Amino acid sequence: MAVRRGKGEGCISKRKNGKFRAYVTQNGQKIHYTGATKTECQEWMRNTLNQIDKGLTSKGAHSTLGEYIDEWISTKEKELGPKTYIDYIRYCNKDIIPILGHIKLKDLRLPVINAYYLQLLESGRGESTIKYIHRVLHSALEDAIKNGYLGYNPSDHASLPNKKSHKAMAMKTLSDLAAKENADDEIFEDEFMGGETKVWSESELSQFLITALDSPLYALLDLEAKTGLRVGELLGLLKRDVEFKDDYALIKVRRQVQWVVGHGWIIQTPKTKSGIRTLKVGTNTARVLREHLDSLDTLKELHKKRWKEHGFLFPSSVGTPINVSNLRKQFNQLIKKAGVQKIRIHDIRHTVASILLTNKIPLVIVSKILGHSKPSVTSDIYYHFIPASSNEAADFMDDLTPTVVNLTNLVSVKEGDPAGVTK
């Protein structure tokens, strides 16, 4: 027998197969749901009625996530950059629709989304990829609210898993501890020391730059090592973005370039408003840049038959931005020649951040140099490089607390009786 509710609230009935069927009415149309228990159906009714109160439309109530995303993504081409639009399509078609596409928009819940992200992690998808997928899904659901398909965004408080938080707590026995008593390595070293960003030390960076002195890329690599620019920002610099002063130079970061398959080179604004910035470089780097600019006339003359002037500070042999694949190849060759640990060219940016922070350059300054939207972003990424001022803290606490110990007042714990003490 159906359990009827007040007008407009629908009802719940038990079916012959033992499951429960619930429905609510919206604009004269019934929205159905089948659940394993009566409690599940009651929860669904509460959520659905809440969404109706907040503006859920009939189309939103009957559309699946896959149907909605197919329609939604077609409207984003003019709003997103070409590369971003291609990424959105790929993640929608490869990751979101195949797993979540069959679920009705109205039935999408936070636990389902959390389980989905965990499934992606366990299948081997990287943490940054999962964050990007969340960004796409959240954006789609935000637009669903604006269009009246949803009353709220079920992904608002999603938990983005990571390998460290998902990993079970490491546990050892006293025997394990005893086995490490005379060893140099720590008992939990494997559990906590892996996965950190690769960076060069100051000596490795210097060794690399010395090796690169004769490379045509030296000016580019030297500027990257002094500023930590993103590769797209570095390649997007124009000659007019360098302003020379008496003993230094100013670098104006105003754009970034990307190679997008099917579109070619795309010029974009930096990732955030804070990415538009002016950086100061010292005397040595200013000298290197002056010499580099002088050499561009020779490069242009050498390739004049194919050259097309675009004004780039670091052009290829035809005047376009340097091909990133070629840049990466030459960078790896220089690493091998220098005999330093292998890192990505983007890791020079991390190296710059680590060197500045470990030398106690204020976080707010480092954040501005890197073009982050706020210092907390810098702190979240490079927290393990921020010095804890341990010497100052230790001295402060040592002065604050008494250090004279009366040996006669010491107590010892009886063996086998942690709670008992004797004087």
Summarize pLDDT for 294-317 with one digit per residue, the tens: 999 899 888 888 999 999 999 999
Burial of 231 (C-beta count, 10 Å sphere; 0-12/13-18/19+): buried
Chain Cα centroid distance, residue 361:
23
Q: What is the model's pLDDT at position 31?
A: 67
Q: What is the model's pLDDT at position 422?
A: 47
Residue 313 near residue 189 (C-beta atoms within 8 A) = no
Unique residue bearing structure tokens 């998902």: 166
Residues composing the chain: 423
User: Residues in the chain with pLDDT < 70?
Assistant: 1-10, 25-32, 49-62, 163-197, 387-393, 401-423
pTM (predicted TM-score): 0.60
| CA atoms of 387 and 396, how far apart (whole Å) | 16
**What does the block give as tokens for 51?**
């969404």
Q: What is the model's pLDDT at position 32?
A: 66
Superfamily of domain 202-385: Intergrase catalytic core (1.10.443.10)
The closest of 72, 335, 373 to 212, measured between CA atoms, is: 335
Three-class secondary structure of residue 4 per DSSP: strand
> 240-260: b or e for each residue (b if 16 or more CB lie within 10 Å)?
ebbeeeeeebebebbbbbbbb
Q: What is the model's pLDDT at position 6?
A: 42
Unique residue bearing structure tokens 């100061």: 280
| Segment 123-150, tens digit of pLDDT | 888 888 899 999 999 999 998 888 877 7
Q: What is the model's pLDDT at position 383?
A: 77
* Percent helix, strand and coil across the chain, each to the nearest 5: 50, 15, 35
| CA atoms of 37 and 45, how far apart (whole Å) | 13
Domain boundaries, the chain: 3-53, 65-163, 202-385
**Whole-angstrom Cα Rg for the chain:** 30
The CATH-assigned architecture of domain 65-163 is Orthogonal Bundle (1.10)
